[in-house]
């Protein structure tokens, strides 16, 4: 099994989509990239902790490649926006890939280069590619939130 940790704005919709990919074994939403231990949603929403809302994905590389997970990640949000997605703004909503190995780092950077060369997006990609840090699992009510609410999307 491998782990991917990705931030693409509000974690609810990102989790819902990523958990449906064939080969994804488990997902959890949480916070990464900040300075405060055991942050809460309320802490992260102050935009002072440095954390991003992320989805941690456990996947079977025999069934799905990391590059396929990244491709889904880039199709789920606007990676050209810095510190915002749609109506949500702040550093917690930044586009970020927390890599867990040199291979993941190389794959993420290669995908950004390829998408840039293909001009898939009208503006430069702002996605950060940084080493994985402590993943702090979000409160239980955030886990599989949209599924619990019987919703398929959180976008209007």
Please tell me the distance from the alpha carbon of residue 5 to that of residue 2, in angstroms, as a whole number: 10
**How many Cβ atoms are within 10 Å of 21's Cβ, its own excluded?**
16
Q: Based on the number of CB atoms within 10 Å of its own CB, is 119 exposed (0-12), middle (13-18) or buried (19 or more)?
A: exposed
Cα 32 to Cα 11, 52, 63, 79, 144, distances in angstroms = 12, 6, 26, 18, 18
Q: Based on the number of CB atoms within 10 Å of its own CB, is 138 exposed (0-12), middle (13-18) or buried (19 or more)?
A: buried
- Which of 4, 8, 10, 28 does the annotation list as catalytic? 10
10 classed as catalytic: yes
Please tell me the distance from the alpha carbon of residue 74 to that of residue 125, in angstroms, as a whole number: 10
Sign for the CA dihedral angle at 134, 140, 25, 9 comes to negative
User: Catalytic amino acids?
Assistant: 10
């Amino acid at each position: 099994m491998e782990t991917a940790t990705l931030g693409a704005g509000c974690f609810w919709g990102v989790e819902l989509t990523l958990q449906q990919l064939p080969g994804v074994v488990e997902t959890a939403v949480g916070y990464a990239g900040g300075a405060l231990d055991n942050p809460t949603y309320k802490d992260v929403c102050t935009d002072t902790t440095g954390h991003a809302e992320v989805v941690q994905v456990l996947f079977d590389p025999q069934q799905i490649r990391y590059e396929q997970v990244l491709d889904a990640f880039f199709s789920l949000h606007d990676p050209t926006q810095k510190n915002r997605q749609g109506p949500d703004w702040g550093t917690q909503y930044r586009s970020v890939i927390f890599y867990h190995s040199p291979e993941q780092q190389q794959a993420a950077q290669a995908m950004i280069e390829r998408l840039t060369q293909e001009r898939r997006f009208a503006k430069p990609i702002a996605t950060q590619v940084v080493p994985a840090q402590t993943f702090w699992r979000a409160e239980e009510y955030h886990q599989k939130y949209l599924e619990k609410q019987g919703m398929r999307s959180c976008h209007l």
